[in-house]
Amino acid sequence: MPDVLFTKDFALIDLQTRISFLEDTCDELSKIIARQDRDLRDLQDQLKLMYQHIQAKQDDVGIAAFDLLADRPPHY
C-alpha cells in the first residue's frame, strides 16, 4: 500500500511540475507575441512613411504636364 501512495504522490508532483512548466511557457509566448505585435506595428508605420516619401519624390521628379497653348516656345 505505501508503494501505491508513493506512486500517486509522484504522479501528482509530476503533473504539477508539468502544469507549472506549461504556465511559464504560455507566459513567455504571450510576451513574445506582444513584442512581435509592437514590432509589426512599428514596421507598418515605417512602411507607410517610406511609401509617402516615395510618392512625394515621384511627384517632384515627374515630368509636368505640357499645355501647348500656355507653354508655347518663344519662337512661335
34 lies in some domain: yes
Q: How far apart are CA 62 and CA 48, in angstroms?
A: 21
The whole-number average pLDDT for the span 37-61 is 90
Q: What is the SS3 assignment for 12?
A: helix
pLDDT for 22 equals: 98
Q: How far apart are CA 48 and CA 40, in angstroms?
A: 12
67 lies in some domain: no
Number of domains in the chain: 1
pLDDT for 55 equals: 85
Query: CA 70: distance to chain centroid?
Result: 50
62 lies in some domain: no
74 lies in some domain: no
Q: How far apart are CA 50 and CA 39, in angstroms?
A: 16
pLDDT for 39 equals: 98
Answer with the residue of higher pLDDT: 54 or 1.
54
75 grid coordinates:
519662337
75 lies in some domain: no
- Domain coverage including residue 39: 7-55
